[in-house]
A and B are shown apart, each in its own frame.
Chain A
Amino acid sequence: MAYRVCVLRAPGTNCDAETAWCLQKTGLEAEVVHVNRFIDGRADFMGYDGLVIPGGFSFGDHVRAGALLGKMLKERFYEPLSRFSEEGRPILGICNGFQILVECGLLPGGGMSAALTTNLSSRFEARWVKLRVERENLFTRGMAGSVSLPVAHGEGRFLMREEEIKALEKRGQVVFRYAFDDGRPAGGAYPANPNGSLHDIAGISNEAGTVLGLMPHPERAFHRLTHPTWTRERMEEGDAFGEGYMIFRNMADYIRKR
């Protein structure tokens, strides 16, 4: 049986093709679907086993990054998307997709609100970062420790009220933190923390762990040889995949078992 995953696109989305390709490599059937098809009623989220909102600059990032598509989803599809995730169908938001999930309120969930605002450096930060995996959920199974993935964003600074961050941490919703090379959390220090995110937060999930949003791009670390050190570090046999691959494989395994 083929399992279908929707890769949602809108004007300005630009990571849809490679994201769909990664999903396909894990054996899922990935379909890039324009948001207008859902609005017109020609497509239905419930027809899919998973949803990925890829990176890019949806609607030109006008108003705020992810705001226009995020609010559109909130207005028209909040109920079906909540049901989708409550049924345990995974939702993954990468970079702009994370911003969209935060704007539409699927993350952090539980009536809390967050913002991904302009990087403290005022720069578009596009480089590899080290991340500490704080929580194993359906997406991060077997990823304990740290991974390196690339970031590419201008608005990635995670903000939330301090008491809400405490609640988020208590419920195990902080999944990735920016870290030093040795895996210790960056403690806000630039450049290990590329954007000034509070508590070095790079990725969070909902309480059930079925919705994950992260600023780094796992689809750009799908193969070992896209990592800048691939010629310097000896490759072991079976080491063809990069550290982003696990997120897609975990998602595929989970969908097949569900």
Chain B
Amino acid sequence: MKWEVRISYKKGVQDSEGESTLSGLRALGFRGVERVGAAKVYLIEGEVSREDVEEMCRRLLANPVSQDYTITEVK
């Protein structure tokens, strides 16, 4: 099994990496860009179920105070 875990900031928590990337892109002349969100992606391979990956997110990969996660199976 192969899973993609995406960790992003919760709504309302400032994503400073996304914001500085936005200003960097604008400085390069990409005027149309309105928002940039930064996220972290982990690829997890092995004999693990979706429930296992959920537990990994809860116990290590995401901090429930500031971060959300999504889990997608990679075919």
Contact A159 B61 (CB under 8 A): no
* Given A114-B65, A119-B16, 20 extra CB contacts under 8 A: A63-B60, A67-B60, A68-B60, A71-B60, A103-B63, A113-B63, A113-B64, A113-B65, A115-B66, A117-B13, A117-B63, A118-B16, A118-B17, A121-B16, A122-B16, A122-B17, A122-B19, A159-B66, A160-B65, A196-B14
Q: How far is the CA of A196 from the CA of B59 in the complex (A)?
A: 26
Q: Does A152 touch B at the CB level, under 8 Å?
A: no
In the assembled complex, the CB of A73 is this many whole angstroms from the nearest CB of chain B, namely: 12
A-facing mask of B16-35, CB < 8 A → 1, else 0?
Answer: 11011000000000000000
How many B residues touch A, CB cutoff 8 Å?
15
Contact A71 B20 (CB under 8 A): no
Question: Please, which residues of chain A bring their CB within 8 A of the CB of B17?
Answer: 118, 122
Contact A115 B63 (CB under 8 A): yes
B-facing mask of A121-132, CB < 8 A → 1, else 0?
Answer: 110000000000
Question: Please, which residues of chain B bring their CB within 8 A of the CB of A120?
Answer: 14, 16
In the assembled complex, the CB of A193 is this many whole angstroms from the nearest CB of chain B, namely: 14
Question: Please, which residues of chain B bring their CB within 8 A of the CB of A118?
Answer: 16-17
Contact A71 B59 (CB under 8 A): yes
Offer 13 A-B interface pairs, CB within 8 angstroms, sorted by A.
Answer: A67-B63, A71-B60, A113-B64, A115-B66, A115-B67, A117-B9, A117-B13, A118-B17, A119-B16, A122-B19, A122-B20, A159-B65, A161-B65
Question: Please, which residues of chain A bring their CB within 8 A of the CB of B61?
Answer: 63
* Interface residues of A, Cβ cutoff 8 Å to B: 63-64, 67-68, 71, 103, 113-115, 117-122, 159-161, 196
In the assembled complex, the CB of A98 is this many whole angstroms from the nearest CB of chain B, namely: 14
Q: Is the interface of A mostly helix, strand, loop or mixed?
A: loop
What 10 A-B pairs are tightest by C-beta distance, nearest first? A122-B16, A115-B65, A115-B66, A122-B20, A115-B63, A117-B66, A71-B60, A118-B16, A159-B66, A159-B65
Q: How far is the CA of A145 from the CA of B4 in the complex (A)?
A: 50
In the assembled complex, the CB of B62 is this many whole angstroms from the nearest CB of chain A, namely: 9
Question: Please, which residues of chain A bring their CB within 8 A of the CB of B67?
Answer: 115
In the assembled complex, the CB of B19 is this many whole angstroms from the nearest CB of chain A, namely: 7
Q: How far is the CA of A235 from the CA of B30 in the complex (A)?
A: 55
Q: How far is the CA of A122 from the CA of B9 in the complex (A)?
A: 14
Name the interface residues of B18-72: CB closer than 8 Å to any CB of A: 19-20, 59-61, 63-67
**Minimal Cβ-Cβ distance residue in A for B63:** A115
In the assembled complex, the CB of A82 is this many whole angstroms from the nearest CB of chain B, namely: 18
Q: How far is the CA of A64 from the CA of B62 in the complex (A)?
A: 9
Question: Please, which residues of chain A bring their CB within 8 A of the CB of B66?
Answer: 115, 117, 159
In the assembled complex, the CB of A93 is this many whole angstroms from the nearest CB of chain B, namely: 16
In the assembled complex, the CB of A77 is this many whole angstroms from the nearest CB of chain B, namely: 15
